[in-house]
Structure 1
């Protein structure tokens, strides 16, 4: 009797999507990323909000905005690990630098995701050009097909991450971005 390897329901369902329409697969990847990241960051945002408002800290609004920016920062930087977000791993995509054809840097992924506030426009651009959305033009990147991976591969990449000056700079830029965004709201 042959052994059948079970890779998980999500992996199996995603594998059923026809491979012949890159536009549909790319948009599905964007939507899947959105749902996965919302699933991860919304509970964190709720916990942060409850803590801030429960204790009615002095300067609650300032502290709340700083703390709430943490889940948003995670959402925006979903591609940090090997230039692959959770959905890109499942669907078999990777972000690369156009000039070098190597995986995009953390900074490029950060710049690429700054356009998240115009998400509906990103979907339209993705329909027109599945390899490059608006953020890719800003970051000089594109999305290519790569090997499909299980989500648990992210844990291995996370264990191997090293604190680089690039990462610290992105933390500072991300903080400034959210601070500026909070002043607009």
Structure 2
């Protein structure tokens, strides 16, 4: 069986890294998105992060445990094998040990590129070798799997992150300010609803925060995209700084 090329190994690593990171971030936002965005007390946020990141790292290091093949390796048509018994994958413990060395990935990358046996340090310590998989799914199905992962990522960004923003205190404050603004009501009539997914960003650090939100306001006589700038200070509450229409017209501004 032929050894895998370095290029295939690097691409497989990048796919695995992307997928597992995507999974960890998805779980964080699905279950703890509101707490993270609202910038709760660090003493509350740290246990939340630990409850997801620790199992996430364990999954990362165990990613090749099924027959020496991770998702990235399956897509790239390669596999990890015991260098002394090429028909067998190394034991779970050796595979786990092998991946622990990815913590020092820059060094691992240099060793992989320069090693004549196409091995990184983790391979050498675990007595493993990465080979081309002679029995693998068709190239088309593997490409479709990769496309599906990328599409899921964009769905996540569009829905999960947007939902977390909608549940944030900053967004709720922005909606309150929009609904109090008489110019908005004059131009589009009674507000009926808002766009499904707001865009923008919310940055919090301890009790301070800044937010820029772009919200589509839907009224009975039309729609109005509104950009809202907010800040959070020692009071712990979000306050409006400025509200603008899409063309830059200021709807409301609070001077400091």
**TM-score (structure 1 length as normaliser):** 0.58
User: Within 5 A, what are the aligned runs for 1:1-185?
Assistant: 22-47=5-30, 50=33, 61=46, 64-101=49-86, 102-129=88-115, 131-146=118-133, 147-149=135-137
Report the Cα offset of residue 89 of structure 1.
Answer: 0.7
Higher RCO (CA < 8 A, seq sep 6+):
1
Report the Cα offset of residue 119 of structure 1.
Answer: 1.3
RMSD: 3.2
Q: Deviations over 1:27-83 (max 9, x none)?
A: 222222222222222222444654876897x88645642442011211221111111
1:27–1:127 CA contact under 8 A, matched in 2: no
Q: Provide the rounded CA distance (Å) in 1 between the counterparts of 2:54 and 2:35.
A: 13
Which stretches in structure 2 are left out of the alignment for 5+ residues? 146-256
Q: How many residues align?
A: 133
Q: Provide the rounded CA distance (Å) in 1 between the counterparts of 2:55 and 2:31.
A: 9
Which one has a larger percent helix, Structure 1 or Structure 2?
Answer: 1
1:126–1:132 CA contact under 8 A, matched in 2: yes
Which stretches in structure 1 are left out of the alignment for 5+ residues? 1-20, 154-185
1:27–1:126 CA contact under 8 A, matched in 2: no
Higher-Rg structure is 2
1:44–1:71 CA contact under 8 A, matched in 2: no
Report the Cα offset of residue 23 of structure 1.
Answer: 2.4
1:48–1:67 CA contact under 8 A, matched in 2: no
Which one has a larger percent strand, Structure 1 or Structure 2?
Answer: 2
